[in-house]
Chains A and B, each alone.
Chain A
């Protein structure tokens, strides 16, 4: 009897398995039989590792995703040498503080309303006067836009800045997504706004299911040409293993999650799979609490920087997938970064500096004590969600022992970690800073005011002088030269030390779609990868670099 029961159960299970397998294989056949050599693709499935909400820039941020739906006046981003007019038809600087921008006509929002100069004026004023998000300081502080007027022709806007603003076109215009006035003027609390985003961009967001997926449809009337892909489906898969399982089984065609070093070989052997290497314009940094002892000493910070063997972190932790942070902060690939920067590794000099500062190992336990003779033990805070940073912190701990400084790794859950760092309740930390932080020159100034790299009220005469020179400079060239000096000064006494520049590897099924391009700082999944040739050309995109 029992045998029968067990037998029946297993039979039932087998039947269900068999039933489902047949239905699955038939649906897969449909997807892969689509195009080859044909630019038009019906559907592309991109796995995304996190959920940033219905693309409301006040509640979540993932720039490449926001960019699919929204456009900016200039394109592609502030991270390239010369961004080009996009929603703007042209822009002209009249004097140090005045800009005229003429917008393109005939563009429509995804809901059919006309895009007008009113939308641009509204957006910029909203960013300037409304609640903060990652874009707002570009109009409210660096630079500071005083007035925005629409001229008589109805298509030209006049921006007047509080002080010289030579980089409006290259930075501000290239960074701020334009919002539709007719929707946003009625939004009561932007942080609780959950309607699907409406933009002018190449894709319309048609569905969003929290923690499950995004769906986009091509905006066939797009002013830079109809997208090459009709539909983008983006399941949200948070777990890394699950993501690459889905890629290998063919349920998704590509993912924005970087391929872990240990998976590269396997994926490369898979037919139809191509791997592309990109520079994400980000830095993994060793942040120091410059307001507390001993990090408030610039020599001490310099000694720490000298004592770090960045090369060995890259080869051990990243298995070589990345570059050692020997060219300092900000990111060396940004056109705004001084190419002469260098942060050498020199244990001897580090030791000498610490000796000179009076940090000596008087009790011979292998670690230096403070000049007052007290024990010196410092924490490295790190988020438990980032195994690579934990390992990096552990290596730092070992390396710092070489120069006699005792560090201890303190791992905490992500929200606790962020709270600790943002409330100044830390001694040092290891974390990542993205393109906006390390490739945007205006942000470098902001970071020195916001407490990230420095705090407004703390004296820093050399930097203050450079900043005031910078504010008075009226051309981009002058400003760039001063920025370079600031960066040199910064790297001599860094408050966040560049450890390495990560590299990102994208894997994609080339049989389904093979028209990707790289947009600096955004990888290969960016809106230009899905736009016709002309649009890619004006946006400084580069061909995909395949991993051999």
Chain B
């Protein structure tokens, strides 16, 4: 019962956060100077238009009303899942989003999992072998990776594997010409995705690794490890059951937060690989000042982060009995008082 009340309370807080976010999402793009006319007319033509012509154009794009009117339409839209029509693409914002989300999920999702698996296993391995040569080798490698910017890795990969060796395509998510078979399509998608996925993985694996390693080192130093070792528990069980499980909490937090940013795509990497994901969409919409589209993308991203936080909040206790017990104890103390 008590748990349920807490959940309700949490949800209430989140609703407030969402409302504030919605308002900021509306206001921010409009606070920036500039309007979508540049996209429509190009630099040359825009100089030739009179002020009335510009007003007329803005009006025909649905940006004519007062800010309050636009805000009201936007809020209504959010609750009916109608985010309006993208100015640049001329179709419903939801339609554009639906087209882009799968690509971003494929790219960033795969990379996130790869990065987690590799980072955690390497981190655990390193911590277990702390101070040995293999630990230092991995540590140096990971630190190097962590300090290289992702776009640079991307550009190097492109120049080596796509241009020099010709193993992979240099741009896009699929080829313009398909052979028509499902298998061919899958191969095509995979070959387009490999380099960007590897790039994002390499750019993010370092933080997973370092976090796991330090967290593992901490739990390896605990008394219960000595006890467990003294009990003669096998090495594998020691690492996984005793050390890693205890070290997982910060890693879990880190992971859920990155799941939240998942929907934001990877702006830079998607640009380097000309990949049609959410990140690139966001960038394009900012340059075109496509307000409805921007609202849609921002909403998606913020919802992703809020949802991931909510899930993390709610699942901590299930995940780590210590959190659950502590909270319950505290709760009882308060009620007693």
A residues adjacent to B (C-beta < 8 A) = 1-2, 5-6, 9, 13, 16-17, 19-21, 23-25, 27-28, 43, 45, 53, 58-61, 131-134, 137, 189-194, 210-213, 215, 233, 235-239, 241-242, 245-246, 248-251, 385, 412-422, 431-434, 436-437, 443, 446-447, 450-452
Contacts and interface: CB of A to CB of B under 8 A. Distances in A.
Most buried by B among A21, A242, A246: A242
B284 to A, nearest CB: 6
8 contacts: A20-B191, A24-B167, A59-B90, A132-B49, A241-B155, A242-B274, A417-B34, A450-B49
B37 A134 contact: no
B118 interface: yes
Interface of B: 32-50, 53-54, 56-57, 60-61, 85, 88-91, 96, 117-118, 121-122, 124-125, 128, 155, 158-159, 161-163, 165-173, 175-177, 187, 190-191, 194, 198, 236, 271-274, 276, 280-281, 284, 286-289
Contact of A213 (B50, B60, B176, B287): B176
Given A60-B40, A414-B287, A24 B121 contact: no
> Closest 6 interchain pairs by CB?
A415-B34, A194-B90, A20-B191, A21-B167, A2-B125, A134-B45
A17 B187 CA distance: 11
Contacts of B176: 45, 213, 215, 233, 235
> What's the dominant secondary structure at chain B's contact region?
helix
A242 B159 CA distance: 9
A379 to B, nearest CB: 15
B122 to A, nearest CB: 7
Contacts of B42: 60-61, 134
Contacts of B122: 2, 6
A447 B45 CA distance: 10
Given A19-B187, A59-B90, A235-B172, 18 more contacts: A17-B167, A20-B194, A59-B40, A133-B45, A134-B48, A213-B176, A215-B176, A237-B274, A239-B272, A241-B155, A249-B162, A249-B163, A249-B166, A413-B34, A416-B34, A418-B34, A422-B49, A436-B45
Given A192-B85, A251-B170, A431 B43 contact: yes
Contact of A450 (B48, B167, B286): B48
A215 B175 CA distance: 12
Nearest to A209: B276
Contacts of A422: 37, 46-47, 49, 54
Contact of B48 (A137, A210, A385, A412): A137
Contacts of A212: 172-173, 276
A246 B50 CA distance: 41
A191 B40 contact: yes
A429 to B, nearest CB: 10
Nearest to A455: B50
B34 A419 contact: yes
B170 A239 contact: no
Nearest to B122: A6
Nearest to B89: A210
Contacts of B60: 131, 189-192
Contacts of B159: 245
Nearest to B32: A416
Contacts of A437: 44, 47-48
Nearest to A191: B60
A237 B47 CA distance: 27
Nearest to A386: B43
Contacts of B125: 2, 6
B76 to A, nearest CB: 20
Given A2-B121, A134-B42, A421 B280 contact: no
Contact of A432 (B43, B85, B172, B173): B43
B22 to A, nearest CB: 23
Nearest to B60: A191
A419 B45 contact: no
B91 A194 contact: yes
B217 to A, nearest CB: 16
Given A414-B287, A415-B288, A191 B61 contact: yes
